[in-house]
Amino acid sequence: MSVYVDSGINEYDFARLVHFVKSGYGIDLEGKQFLVQSRLANHIADCGFSSFSEYLETVFDDTSGREVANLINKLTTNHTYFMRESDHFDHLREVFLPEAEKTIKDHDLRIWSAGCSYGNEPYNLAMCLDEYFGPERSNWDLKILATDISFNALRQAARGIYTEKAIEALPEEWRTKYFDKTSHSLYQVKECIRRNVVYKYHNLMEEINFKKKFDLILCRNVMIYFDDETKSQLCKRFYDATEDGGYLYIGHAESAPDDIPYVKQKPAIYRKITEVSSV
């Protein structure tokens, strides 16, 4: 039963929340007190807390990670759709994949969708790879790593179920080829595509310790939540996790830090160019 009676979050609690979320997850809530209040109020009431203060104490003391995950889910907007920012998919098909096909001798193509939300992006990439390689895809390792800090988003992404409206931007032949209709208005990504995406929890504020470096990293419309220092540190970690000659795609609406180590190729597309790979 809803028992929330507090009229809002006080300055002290808000400052504590800002520090907690910024230091742990890189999300900058400074100046967004009203947004925080509006997004959390119903959740706090539904959980039976009588104030923001009481709720925050539960979050700070949470050792299971469940309530912290709920908090992050409420504070971030997992807004995504298929074929989002189509310039990236054009570059993928016309530049990145032809280069990768020529230069990756072991046929192990490494792509990371960082901040994958509900899975539209990694599934979209998997479809592009299937279309590009065709019958040759069996000779390649084309699995895509997809990560997020939202357990809720990851669970939904793994199911791969979307509304008819969510897939309307895809070519009609793709909707037939890559989806099974499960009900009047719901469609599920076919298993042959779903098995090529590996979903994992990963906090972008943590070190990147995956076994191999990536040929392409996509981190689109995630850094809009970060301040300049956080973006700078993250891009350096991405750079270290990128193969020589590899690419980073960011959102068109977000700005890269001034000290980004990549070389800008075109808007929202960056490349790791070293002396060895600068041919």
Write the CATH number for 118.
3.40.50.150
Q: β-pairing, 214-219 with 111-114?
A: parallel
Q: Which residue has the tokens 């499960």?
A: 182
Are residues 121 and 233 part of one domain? yes
φ, ψ at 83 (rounded to 5°): 60, 30
CA distance 28 to 234: 14
pTM assigned to the model: 0.81
Are residues 189 and 142 part of one domain? yes
Are residues 159 and 114 part of one domain? yes
pLDDT (tens digit, 9 = 90+) per residue, 18-40? 898 888 888 888 888 888 888 88
CATH number of the domain bearing residue 26: 1.10.155
pLDDT of residue 109: 98
Upper half-sphere CA count for residue 255 (Cβ side, 13 Å): 6
**Residue 279 falls within a domain, yes or no?**
no
Are residues 45 and 91 part of one domain? no
Split into its structural domains, the chain has a count of 2
Are residues 156 and 98 part of one domain? yes
Mean pLDDT in residue range 131-153: 93
3-state SS class at 264: strand
Sign of the C-alpha dihedral, residues 93, 95, 101, 107?
negative
**Residue 164 falls within a domain, yes or no?**
yes
**Residue 238 falls within a domain, yes or no?**
yes
Task: Tell me how crowded residue 219 is: count the other CB atoms within 10 A of its CB.
Answer: 22
**Residue 5 falls within a domain, yes or no?**
no
Position 184 pLDDT exceeds 90: no
Are residues 63 and 180 part of one domain? no
DSSP 102-134: HH-TT-B--EEEES-TTSHHHHHHHHHHHHHHG
pLDDT of residue 275: 66
Q: Which residue has the tokens 């669970």?
A: 155
Q: Closest Cα partner for 245 from 87, 95, 88, 114?
A: 95
pLDDT of residue 265: 97
pLDDT (tens digit, 9 = 90+) per residue, 46-80? 888 888 889 999 888 888 777 887 787 777 765 56
Is residue 131 within 8 Å of residue 197, measured between CB atoms? no
Q: Is residue 134 left, alpha or beta, with left meaning phi > 0 and alpha meaning psi from -120 to 50?
A: left
Enclosing domain of residue 31 = 11-75
As a whole-number percent, the residues of the chain with pLDDT over 90 amount to 58
Are residues 27 and 129 part of one domain? no
Position 2 pLDDT exceeds 50: no
pLDDT (tens digit, 9 = 90+) per residue, 250-262? 999 899 999 999 9
**Residue 3 falls within a domain, yes or no?**
no
Position 227 pLDDT exceeds 90: no
Domain boundary among 46, 75, 104: 75
Domain boundary among 75, 96, 130: 75
CA distance 173 to 167: 12
**Alpha-carbon torsion angle 78, 81, 82, 88, nearest 10:** -70
Residues 6+ apart with CB under 8 A from 202: 114, 147, 148, 149
